Amino acid sequence: METAMFGAGCFWHVEEAFRQVCGVVDTRVGYSGGSMLNPTYEQVCEGGTGHTEVVQVMYDPKRVSYEDLLKVFWAEHDPTLKIKVQYKSVIFFYSADQQKAAVAVIATLAQTLGKPIVTEVLPASAFYDAEEYHQRYYEKTGTKGCATGGCAIP
């Protein structure tokens, strides 16, 4: 098994998209990239922690490639929009191969779109699980879509 981590806006819809991919064994939503230890959803929403909402994807590379996961990532958001740090477009890599693949795809995508890509490619940092009610949110609630602007606290 291997791990990948992506931030593409609200983590609920991104997690659901990855859960539909054959070869993805598990997903967890959470926070990464900030300075605070064990941030809460409310703290991340306030914007002072530096964390981004992310999906950690555990996958079987014999069944799905990292490049295929990148395709799902790109399909789930607009990588040309610069938005708040909590919802920014970011790829956290766990290996040099993941970094190389992400950078290569960004270069190709920028040419295709004819716009600058704002997606950051960063080494994986600490991942903090989001609260349990966020995990597999769509399965639990049947709700589709995130609140406008994110951070809808149930």
Enter the tokens of residue 88: 């920014």
- Catalytic entry in 10, 22, 146, 151: 10
CA distance 107 to 92: 17
3-state SS assignment for residue 28: strand
Q: How far is CA 44 from CA 118, 121, 140, in A?
A: 21, 20, 22
Is 10 a catalytic site residue?
yes
Closest CA to 53 of 117, 142, 149, 143: 149
Catalytic residues: 10
